[in-house]
Amino acid sequence: MAIKGRLGVRHDEDDGYGRPARRTRPRTKDRPDYSGSETGYVVAVDRGRFTVLVDNDQGLRELSCTKARQLGRKGVIVGDEVQVVGDTSGADGTLARIVGVVERRSVLRRTADDDDPFERPIVANADQLAIVTALADPPPRPGMIDRILVAAYDAGLWPLLVLTKADLSSPDELSALYRDLDVTVLSTHPGSDLDELRDELAGHRTVFVGHSGVGKSTLVNALIPDAGRAIGHVNQVTGRGRHTSTSAVALQLPGGGWVIDTPGVRSFGLSHVTTDSIIAAFPDLADLVGDCPRACAHDTSAAQCALDAAVQRGDLASSRLESFRRMEKAWITPDHDLR
């Protein structure tokens, strides 16, 4: 039986008229050979372009790179060590491709807030975190410091507390809060000698994190004179600083080591952190909590917590436990309630 089809063309219903088979390229198990790739260090990320430093027998080169499609949704962040192919000459106008990311040794993460289930990796492969806070203008926020400390311990980074504007207020009271957590505390003021800080940074990859307006970029410019980081000012009405660093960037220190300057933060979500990851950062406490009852929160409300028993026996200083619990409280307290 003949039927009338589209455009008036007549077909017989027995002709097997239907959609033609889809033509696709045959699948292959062959994968691109990147054995000749070079390894580089990501120092900046800006709108899908990655600045990568490659240093080998061909010399030090700064490459502009894109991310290869086969990496899919895998993110590339400042601090990553990556494999690059393509034009790796570093000449103006050239573009290389990132085809692989070396396994990360550490990742500093945060979430937008404490209810956000999505982690945001900030920096990879750092080994120190410097919490930069002003002693005045704006005033320090111990709750924020404690939360960033939690993030540092969770990432396995050694924390430093760098206090700026010591010419406006004494650092003694704030420093005392962190003495029992074994946090190295350094204080600075405009024109001060930074040799002690340089010694702490030498040979390390240190992330600088801090509230907006605390003088973080000023400090980076003093440590690395040609850094050229923008400097902002504090709003006298709100007491808040203005974001001047808009993206993380890794900068090499003249004496060796790296500083990764990050944008100023006004909150630091910790929904990705667990109690175990915090405890693990304190070997003396980790040895004790094995005697805690199941699901013990290790806070002041915990019944029969082994940490309290250790204090009573004299095996743990009460001031250290109080400092730990203050930091732990900052982790479970909503970010907007902290001061």
Distance between CA atoms of residues 206 and 128, nearest Å: 5
Q: What is the pLDDT of residue 130?
A: 97
Is 166 annotated to bind a ligand? Reply is yes
Least-confidence region, from 208-217, 273-282, 302-311, 329-338: 329-338
Q: 286-333 pLDDT, tens per residue?
A: 999 999 998 888 888 888 899 999 999 999 999 999 999 898 888 777
For 107-261, the fitting CATH number among 3.40.309.10, 1.10.3720.10, 3.40.50.300, 3.30.420.40 is 3.40.50.300
Is 189 annotated to bind a ligand? Reply is no
Q: Where are the domains of the chain?
A: 38-101, 107-261, 275-337
Q: Is the pLDDT of residue 241 over 50?
A: no
| Start-end of H helices in the chain | 142-155, 172-177, 195-201, 216-223, 275-279, 283-288, 306-313, 318-332
Q: Is the pLDDT of residue 57 over 60?
A: yes
CATH match of 38-101 with 3.40.630.30: no
Least-confidence region, from 19-23, 126-130, 261-265: 19-23
Is 165 annotated to bind a ligand? Reply is yes
Q: What is the pLDDT of residue 6?
A: 52
Is 213 annotated to bind a ligand? Reply is yes
Is 217 annotated to bind a ligand? Reply is yes
Question: Quick one: the chain helix, strand, coil %, rounded to 5?
Answer: 25, 25, 50
Confidence class for position 233, pLDDT limits 50, 70, 90? very low
Distance between CA atoms of residues 101 and 111, nearest Å: 22
Q: Which residue has the higher pLDDT, 265 or 67?
A: 67
Is 65 annotated to bind a ligand? Reply is no
Q: Could you tell me which of 114, 108, 106 has the C-alpha nearest to residue 331?
A: 114
Task: Tell me the CA end-to-end span of the chain in Å, nearest whole number.
Answer: 84
Q: 138-154 pLDDT, tens per residue?
A: 899 898 898 899 899 99
Distances (CA, A) of 175 to 132, 160, 182, 328: 13, 11, 11, 18
Q: Are 68 and 99 in contact (CB under 8 A)?
A: yes
For residue 163, give every residue at least 6 positions away whose Cβ sits within 8 Å of its Cβ, in sequence order, or none: 133, 134, 135, 140, 171, 174, 175, 185, 186, 187, 188
| Residue where the block lists tokens 């980790």 | 286
Is 4 annotated to bind a ligand? Reply is no
Is 296 annotated to bind a ligand? Reply is yes
Of 14-28, 29-43, 164-178, 270-284, highest mean pLDDT: 164-178
pTM (whole model) above 0.95: no
Distance between CA atoms of residues 307 and 321, nearest Å: 7
Q: 157-193 pLDDT, tens per residue?
A: 999 999 999 999 999 999 999 989 989 999 998 888 9
Distance between CA atoms of residues 263 and 247, nearest Å: 6
Q: Could you tell me which of 294, 291, 295 has the C-alpha nearest to residue 308?
A: 291
Is 244 annotated to bind a ligand? Reply is no
Is 264 annotated to bind a ligand? Reply is no
